[in-house]
Amino acid sequence: MIPIIQPWVDEREAEAAAAVVRSGWLAQGPRVAEFERALADAVGASEAAALSSCTAALHLALAAHGIGPGDEVVVPSLSFIATTNAVAYCGATPVFADVAADVPNVDADSVAKALSPRTRAVIVAHQVGMPADLLPLTALCAERGLLLVEDAACAIGSTYRGRRIGTVAADHPGGDVVAWSFHPRKVLTTGEGGALTVSDGAFAARLRTLRQHAMSVGSSERHATGALVLPVYDEVGWNYRMTDVQAAIGLVQLERLDAIIARRRALALRYAELLAGVERLTLPRDPVWGTTNYQSYVVCLAAPSRNATLRQVRDAVLDALLRAEVGARPGIMAAHHERAWAKAQTAPLPHSDRWADGSIALPLFHTMGDDDQIAVADRLVAAISRAV
C-alpha cells in the first residue's frame, strides 16, 4: 500500500523526546517555552502559545475574545469539521461562507454575503496548505470590527504575497490570531499538538493563562521563584497544555521545516508532470497571491456526464485506487454534508459541494520514490477512465 502521508521523523525526534523523559520534567517546562519562541520566529509572528491541538487553538482564540451565545462566526463549511465545532464550543453560531471555484478557501466576497449584525468573527482556513487571499479579508474585518482567525492547521510554510502565513496577522495588532496543528496528518508534527500565534505580548500571556485552567501562576514560573507561590483562579479556563515531550519533537521538526516543504513541492511538481493533460481532472497549483506547502495534493474530478453523481464517481475512483493499493482519500470534507451540521446551512454552497464531492488527496510523503508517483498516476488515470 502506498500511504497517503508519512510523518518525516527519525532518530533526532526520538532522541529529543527521550531526553525530556530522562530530564524528569514532562509538561509545560523549558521545551514548551523554547518551542513557542522557535515557532513564532518560523512563522513571522511575535508570540506563540503552544496548545494541545488546533481544535483547542480555534476554540481558545474565540473564547479569549469573549465570543459566546448570540454571536455569529463566519466559517468555511469546506474544512475539517473542527473549524465549525470550535464555534459551537463557545455557544456561538457558525454561519457558512462558500469557497471559491478555483481555490478551496473563502474570500472577502463570500464572507461579506454571510455577515449579519450579530457577526463577531471570521475564520478563514488555508485549506490543504493553499493560502487564502488574506488582504481583502483583513480589510473587510478591520472595517467591520471583526476578529479574523486564520485556521492555518495545514499551512505552515505556505506563503502569501512573498511572506510566510502567520506574518500578515502580525500586521494587525490586537486582533488577528493564527491557529496551527501539529497532528501527524499535517506538515509538521508533534504527535498531537497545536498553537496560536499572535502579535501582542499581553494577549499571548492571557492565552497561556487560559490554557492552564486560568491559573494565575504557571508551574514554570512557580518553579523559577523557588518560593511559596499560591495560584488563584479569577475565571474559568481549560486544560489545553502541550507537553515538553511534544515540544521537544516540535523543535527538531522546525529545523526540518524548509526541507519538508521543498520536498513536498518537488513531489507536487512531479505529479503535475505525470498528470498533465488528463481529461476530467483539475490539478492543484499555486494561486497568484502565494505558494502552497502541498500539505495535501488535492486533485478535482469534473462533474460526470453520465447518470451518476460526482460523489458516486469520486467514490468509485477512490475504491479502485484502494484496491490498486493506493492510499488516496477524499480531498476536503464539508461540515454541512454531515448530520452534525446539516441544519446549519442557510444558503446554497455550490463550490463547497463540488470540492467536497469531487476532490481526491493523493499520496505525498518524503520517502516517496518516482516509481511510487508513476504508479499512483497510472492507477488514477485507469480508475478515472473506468469510473466515468
Ligand X SMILES: *Cc1c(COP(=O)(O)O)cnc(C)c1O
What residue ranges bind ligand X (CB under 6 A)?
Answer: 53-55, 79-80, 82-83, 125, 151, 153-154, 181, 183, 194
Q: How far is the CB of 79 from ligand X (least distance, A)?
A: 5
CB of 193 to ligand X, least distance (A): 7
Q: Which is nearer to ligand X, 29 or 129 (CB)?
A: 129
Q: Closest distance between ligand X and the C-beta of residue 181, in Å?
A: 3
Cα angle value 347/341/192 (rounded, 5°): 125
Q: How far is the CB of 81 from ligand X (least distance, A)?
A: 8
Question: Under 8 Å CB-to-CB from 171, ≥6 apart: which residues?
Answer: 138, 199
- The DSSP symbol for 171 reads T
Nearer to ligand X, 79 or 291 (CB): 79
Minimum CB separation of residue 74 from ligand X in Å reads 15
- Nearest approach in angstroms of CB 82 to ligand X is 4
Between residues 74 and 313, which has the closer beta carbon with respect to ligand X?
A: 74
Our CB check for ligand X shows the closer of 106 and 320 to be 106
Within 10 Å of residue 17's Cβ, how many Cβ atoms? Answer: 22
Distance, CA of 309 to CA of 352 (rounded, Å) = 15
Q: Which is nearer to ligand X, 82 or 196 (CB)?
A: 82
Q: Which residues pair with 147 in a beta bridge?
A: 121
Q: Say how far apart CA 331 and CA 128 lie, in whole Å.
A: 9
Distance, CA of 317 to CA of 385 (rounded, Å): 9
Helix ranges restricted to H, the chain = 11-23, 30-43, 54-64, 82-89, 108-114, 134-144, 167-170, 201-211, 219-225, 244-275, 310-323, 350-358, 370-387
Burial of 330 (0-12, 13-18, 19+ CB in 10 A): middle
Rounded CA-CA distance 73/116 in Å is: 10
Question: Nearest 5 degrees, angle CA 267-CA 273-CA 276?
Answer: 130
Judged by beta carbon, residue 243 or residue 373, the one nearer ligand X is 243
For the CB of residue 314, give the shortest distance to ligand X in the complex, in Å: 19
Q: Which is nearer to ligand X, 56 or 376 (CB)?
A: 56
One-letter amino acid at 277 equals: G
| Closest CA relative to residue 30, chosen from 248, 240, 241 | 248
Closest CA to 295 of 305, 303, 284: 284
CB nearer ligand X, residue 291 or residue 373: 291
Strands 290-291 and 297-301: unpaired
* Least distance from ligand X to the Cβ atom of residue 305, Å: 32
Residue 48 near residue 39 (C-beta atoms within 8 A): yes
Separation between Cα atoms, residue 264 and residue 365, nearest integer Å: 7
Nearer to ligand X, 175 or 331 (CB): 331
Minimum gap (Å) between residue 50 Cβ and ligand X: 12
